[in-house]
Structure 1
Amino acid sequence: MISQLAILKDINVLSICVRIFLSVVISGILGFERGRKRHPAGFRTYILVCLGSTIVMMTNQYIYQTYHTGDIGRLGAQVVSGIGFLGAGTIIITGRNQVRGLTTAAGLWASACIGLSIGIGFYEGAILGGTTIFFVMTILHKMDNLMRKKSNLLHLYLEFENSLGLGSFLSLAKKNSIDVMDVQIVKNKGEEKKAMSVLLSVKSKENRPHTEVLQYLSQAEALNCIHEI
């Protein structure tokens, strides 16, 4: 068993096939989770990132073993820092100042790290690490949503017909025992100057479902739309 594992640690046809297979399988599982949620970086992107990292690390190991020179971790270090440009491409800021794509970017970076561990023959770390990443991206995502729903704190995006609408909203919130915090006025582009977009946080003093809080606040005058973000 030890001798077989040692063979897979060296660069040969068998170890190359095993490493490429593992990188496709593990990254494919991670990418599938993102792809089914219609994120820009999905199934194929994750596989390519992980596979590329695996090839880079195998190349580094091959150079080290063949020519007995160089730093075995040099190319891997470049992958870890270089993957940032791809991750940055998945992060967007919507018109409502919402940041989207952070989890996808983090997942791509983690996929690259998995590829590096497979490429150097650290199979145990790659399999356990990939399993943990998948757990974080699926199970913990559901837990995060559940905790947000149970929280009394809501982050809202609102659009008013005019500035007087914000005053009506604040009065209505106070009347319903709802505290308003972190008010930010967003500049509207290409719209009427009188219109106003606002980002703010509200906290109900009582335990209420988010839908109930939104129903109370939606009764404010001159309010065009209200969304939880």
Structure 2
Amino acid sequence: MEKRARITLNRTVKISNRSERPYKEKNSMNNAIQYLREFHFGTVVFRLVLAMFSSGIIGYGRTKRAKTAGLRTYMLTGIGAAMSILLALYEYEMMNSLWADTVSSVGLKFDASRFSAAVIGGIGFLAAGSIIGTSHQQVKGLTTATGLFASVCMGIACGAGFYECVIISCVLIMTALNIMQPLERQYKRRCRNITLFVEFEDIENVSVITDMIRSKNAEIQEIEIERVKKEGDAYPCAILNLRLSKEQMSHSDMLSSIAELDSVIAIEELIS
């Protein structure tokens, strides 16, 4: 009986030691995160590098797609945003230490949000420069502009030491820019609404094109006619907003049907 009692006692001791390991690991992880939330030289470097790296991941994907704002642009916006909140933290530390006497005598008040608010307001100028209107009445650069805005907000989170937000937002931004793009294009191609840019020989050919579209049971929701210059000559063209029939006629079928007309010089589907 004594031997059995000793064996049982030893087993319980071993189990209790095992249960303490996850607690110690969790404790050390919390201590590491708490250390990174402090404000000193090491955490300043870490936050700036994290802002550059997380923004650079997004910018790399934009560079591969030959977008106006690429790797370096996203990196710089992320670093600049992180610097703004780090400057706010530095000002707070100085106002409560070396500048304390001056602050109390002058009566200054600290507002940490003004730095980040100024950065978010200033990014509007950079984002607006990336939005352009094409000759086909398309607006391009909206995704780039919103991506820069999201990158700036992520940089502010890096500077503030809100690492959980940085990791989650980086994953979500990458998902929205890379994974959702082909799904969005696939949805638009299956959608019954379609926008076409058609270039033809003479203005009288518009009726031929519209008659052919109606023969396919498609609805012409809007039509805009203008002229484009090509090799010194001005050709009439039209931007057509159509709604295809319920028979699920594909976009490619409509494009090929219009392209077969003798009067049509060029045709293109406009996908934003």
Q: What's the TM-score bracket when you normalise by the shorter of the two chains? A: over 0.9
Find the partner of 1:208 among 230, 244, 249: 249
| Structure 1 stretch displaced more, 31-40 or 179-188 | 179-188
Find the partner of 2:265 among 201, 205, 224: 224
Amino acid across the alignment from 1:55: M
Higher helix share: 2
Which SS does the other structure have where 1:83 is aligned?
A: helix
Of the two, which has the highest radius of gyration?
2
Question: In the alignment, which residue of structure 1 is the partner of 2:44?
Answer: 16
Q: TM-score, normalised on structure 2?
A: 0.79
C-alpha distance in 1 between matches for 2:207 and 2:121: 48
| 1:126 to 2:166 alignment | yes
Find the partner of 1:197 among 237, 248, 254: 237
Say what the alpha-carbon RMSD is for the aligned residues.
1.7
C-alpha distance in 2 between matches for 1:175 and 1:183: 17
**Which blocks of at least 5 consecutive residues in structure 1 are unaligned?**
none
Find the partner of 1:142 among 179, 182, 185: 182
2:218/2:244 contact within 8 Å kept = yes
1:154/1:201 contact within 8 Å kept = yes
Question: In the alignment, which residue of structure 2 is the partner of 1:113?
Answer: 153
Question: In the alignment, which residue of structure 2 is the partner of 1:36?
Answer: 64
Which SS does the other structure have where 1:159 is aligned?
A: strand
Q: TM-score, normalised on structure 1?
A: 0.93
C-alpha distance in 1 between matches for 2:172 and 2:69: 20
C-alpha distance in 2 between matches for 1:8 and 1:181: 57
1:50/1:111 contact within 8 Å kept = yes
**Which blocks of at least 5 consecutive residues in structure 2 are unaligned?**
1-27, 97-108
Q: Deviations over 1:60-94 (max 9, x none)?
A: 11101221442011110011111011111111111
Which SS does the other structure have where 2:111 is aligned?
A: coil
